[in-house]
Structure 1
Amino acid sequence: MTAASVSPIGKWRLEGPVAKRAILWLAFLAPFFYLTYGTANWLAAQRQHVAHITFSWEHDIPFLAWTIFPYWSINAFYGLSLFLNDTQSEVDRLARRYLTAQMIAVACFVAFPLTFTFAKPLTSGAPGFLFDLLGGFDKPFNQAPSLHIALLIIIWEHWRHRLAGAILWLWHLWCLLIGVSVLTTYQHHFIDIPTGALLGFFALWLFPAGEPSPLGDFVLSPNGKHKRIGSYYAAASLALLLLVVVEAARSIIYLILLWPALAFGIVALAYLGAGPGVFQKRQNGTVSLASLWLLAPYRLGVKINIYLWTRKLPSSVRILDNVHLGRLPKRAELSAFASVIDLTSELARPSGVEIAWRTFPALDLVPVPPADLEKASEAIENAQMKGPVLVCCALGFQRSAAAVATWLLRHGHAVNAEQAIHLIKTGGRPIHLSDDMIVTEETGERHG
């Protein structure tokens, strides 16, 4: 196989700039891992008492010695993945994901050490050798979040985009075995798995493929409304974290609140300065897998809110010509439209439907940036010439209404903001829109 030969799993880079970058990262990451991981183990061992979090049903999990093979295999995939890249920037992205997971996990191991409580049966042969080798540096600490699971999520995501057909299904199966093996080798308790998965998805979210980091250009917003809404979400996140700290010792079920706490914290960052990019919504209306999982609790709340506000309203109404205004549609409702102009950032488009979809992600409850309203207005004008177009946001009350009002003004269907708002209300859709949320044709700036 040559340095960049094509194989069923993509292109291996065994020499050249990509390989050199991979070797440099590996030369740093491997010692860093063993140094920090070992230090966390040592610090936990100095304590007189280290807590554990165990469900009673976990005592029924069998010990399967042979699963040490998939368990150990992640070490090989860890290194090989760095060489399975086309550019140096791809190597850097993967390495940063590794480093993020390792640093956060080790910080948790030091701050909140946990221990594994089951006794491992004696093993022999090849599995016994691997268990002995593992025991040489791995102690019964460093539990939640499972770094093994976090790295598995990162590596699984890295390879699944480079595989196809039967090999891809084999990859999914092997990764499933690796995930299960942390339990059947008696290395981790169950709680370590979901916390490790969240950490892995966070690393993927922080360093997305083909996009800048959602926090890379963070600048504290000068807008008072942005700060106020951001502070509400930050307070909710901190309140949930406090509840976990206070109540988890009484009932470990409270640990599930870590998930919405993280989701609300990310949403807080969006309003405080990171912007709608934290939701990682693409132009075609889809969202990244990491965003889909990390922000699932928040999205559930959004969907409940949509139901409560719009359950007695039509999903959309016709405003003028081929232009319709409404909430984010369900799959069955899309057959009435040729295209969709979407101003939500927090929700993904319905899956399994082929339709022209343009997204201009905007945060809820705050005015849409004028430049985005202008782009959405032009998209509406172009789309309505080809058939019925739905302009939507979560509720269809504000962001999408501002886009339709801007289109009415900029393309001669209304002479001022008041008339544009009146036309929309005449269509039968309740909206929460003021003059200063609309962009005028003459100035390209907000009216008012």
Structure 2
Amino acid sequence: MWLAFLAPFFYVTYGFANWLASQRDDVGSIVFAWERGIPFIAWTIVPYWSINLFYGLSLLLNDTKRGVDRLAGRYLTAQIVAVACFILFPLTATFMRPQTSGLPGFMFAVLGGFDKPFNQAPSLHIALLVIIWDHWRCRLKGMAAIVWHVWCFLIGTSVLTTWQHHVIDIPTGALLGFFALWLFPRDGELPFAGFRLTADPKARRLALFYALVAALALAGAVAGAFVSALLLILLWPALALAIVAFAYAGAGAKVFQKAADGSISLASRVLLLPYRLGARINVW
């Protein structure tokens, strides 16, 4: 059921964002000069395309209905956020791919039939890769797990070696992927479940403080991108502090996704790393 909705939703929304960007004449790009040295490797279109197969299989080969629903929630989150970014901040790829033949040539031709040089950052391909990689990393063991990690690495690098994306699209896409994992965790409560605005004045002040700092970091990332793309790294602490603000506002400690045995989800460890580092430095 979910796949019947998600597949057309993907192509309709992704295609609409592509079309919308193609109607504009002010679409820019974020490219580092050294990216010109990234080689074009035609055969990597195969792992690039393979994510479509894993997208569907991950939904179909699942343990429980709850597992399917949460995976679909992650897919939907990545799709909605990415498309919103594509519409609000359209970017274009600047590479001119050489002619290819054989199977890679056919696959590039099919890709070019619906995917234009827009829809860059955050890379939806990378966001979905993070989600799908995480879905299988705990299910596969031994050699199968090693093969899975290697193949996912090939998928990740293929966005560059197919000249489909620029470097900045990768960390922004990964951040989106981990956000989707955090929003719909494999285990435990949803971070937004049962949210009620706190009546505690101190908690409200802390929520406001962290929200303001998060907003400043976000503004710094957006404004700073016009000076240096490296300043987009401020998106990471902006998201981390927004999550902490959400916790103080009423979501509570479950946003940190700490289990009874003391373990913390991978998404929480990654997303909240800037906050945890800041807290540790503050203690020093």
Provide TM-score, normalisation by structure 1.
Answer: 0.63
Hey, what does 2:44 align to over in structure 1? 67
Count of aligned positions = 284
Inter-partner Cα distance in structure 2 for 1:107 and 1:159: 28
Moved more, 174-183 or 247-256: 247-256
Hey, what does 1:128 align to over in structure 2? 105
For 1:193-204, what aligned pairs fall within 5 Å after superposition? Answer: 193-204=170-181
The one-letter code of the counterpart of 1:278 is V
Structure 1 residue aligned with 2:5, among 21, 28, 35? 28
Hey, what does 2:212 align to over in structure 1? 235
CA RMSD of aligned residues (A): 0.7
Structure 1 residue aligned with 2:138, among 158, 161, 166? 161
Contiguous gaps of at least 5 residues in structure 2 = none
Structure 1 residue aligned with 2:262, among 285, 288, 297? 285
The offset of 1:90, in angstroms, is 1.1
Instruction: Determine whether 1:257 maps to 2:234.
Output: yes
The offset of 1:153, in angstroms, is 0.5
Instruction: Determine whether 1:174 maps to 2:151.
Output: yes
Structure 1 residue aligned with 2:81, among 80, 97, 104? 104
The offset of 1:245, in angstroms, is 2.1
The offset of 1:84, in angstroms, is 1.6
**Percent identity of the aligned residues?**
65
Hey, what does 1:431 align to over in structure 2? none
The one-letter code of the counterpart of 1:256 is I
Instruction: Determine whether 1:244 maps to 2:244.
Output: no
Hey, what does 1:113 align to over in structure 2? 90
Inter-partner Cα distance in structure 2 for 1:76 and 1:38: 19
The offset of 1:247, in angstroms, is 2.1
Inter-partner Cα distance in structure 2 for 1:225 and 1:261: 21
Structure 2 residue aligned with 1:57, among 34, 59, 63? 34
Hey, what does 1:8 align to over in structure 2? none
CA contact (8 A) 2:189 2:254 kept: no
What is the SS of the residue equivalent to 1:136?
Answer: helix
The one-letter code of the counterpart of 2:107 is L
The one-letter code of the counterpart of 2:23 is Q
For 1:70-85, what aligned pairs fall within 5 Å after superposition? Answer: 70-85=47-62
The offset of 1:278, in angstroms, is 0.6
The structure with more radius of gyration: 1
What is the SS of the residue equivalent to 2:237?
Answer: helix
CA distances 1:270-325 after superposition (whole Å, capped 9, x unpaired): 0011101111111122210000000111111111122x2xxxxxxxxxxxxxxxxx
The offset of 1:155, in angstroms, is 0.4
CA distances 1:38-69 after superposition (whole Å, capped 9, x unpaired): 00000000101201001111110000000000
Contiguous gaps of at least 5 residues in structure 1 = 1-23, 309-448
Instruction: Determine whether 1:302 maps to 2:276.
Output: no
Instruction: Determine whether 1:38 maps to 2:15.
Output: yes
**Bigger RCO (CA 8 Å, 6+ sep):** 2
Inter-partner Cα distance in structure 2 for 1:102 and 1:45: 19
User: Which protein is richer in helix relative to its size?
Assistant: 2
Inter-partner Cα distance in structure 2 for 1:135 and 1:197: 24
Inter-partner Cα distance in structure 1 for 2:237 and 2:187: 27
Structure 1: which 4+ aligned runs deviate by more than 3 Å? none
For 1:46-445, what aligned pairs fall within 5 Å after superposition? Answer: 46-306=23-283, 308=284
The offset of 1:113, in angstroms, is 0.5
The offset of 1:242, in angstroms, is 1.2
User: Which protein is richer in strand relative to its size?
Assistant: 1
Inter-partner Cα distance in structure 2 for 1:273 and 1:258: 23
